[in-house]
Each structure stands twice: as C-alpha cells, then as structure tokens.
Amino acid sequence: MKNLGAIGIGVWVMVVIAIAIGWIMNIVKLIGFSGGTFAGNEIEIILRAVGVFMAPLGGVAGWF
C-alpha cells in the first residue's frame, strides 16, 4: 500500500508522455495534408488544427 503514490505518479507520467507523442504525431499528420487533396478530410483537418492549440485533443487525434 505504500507504493500506490509512486505507481500513480508513474501512470501519470506515462499518460503525459503518450499525449505529448500524440500531439507531435498530430502536427506531422497535419503538415502531411498540405501537399494533398482535402476532399473528404475537412473535419479531420479542422480537428487536427484545433488539436495543435489544445494539446489533449491533439494528443488523442495524433494516435488516430
């Protein structure tokens, strides 16, 4: 029972790292759209653009 605080901190750190990686992947995918067509991807592009400024949304969008 004494190590529950350390486990919680470890889980929190892993979640923050996963969101940071997803946010970076989101930016890379958004840049990848710049050379192609936007047909059928308008909503995805808007969510990714908003996700650049809202890191949790961008972190989730980057994994999809």
What pLDDT tens digit does each residue of the chain (64 aa) get? Answer: 667 788 889 999 999 999 999 999 988 888 887 776 667 778 888 888 888 888 888 888 888 8
Sequence ranges of the domains in the chain: 4-62
Output the pLDDT for position 26.
87
How far lies 9's CA from each of 15, 18, 44, 52, 60, in Å?
10, 14, 33, 26, 21
Output the pLDDT for position 31.
86
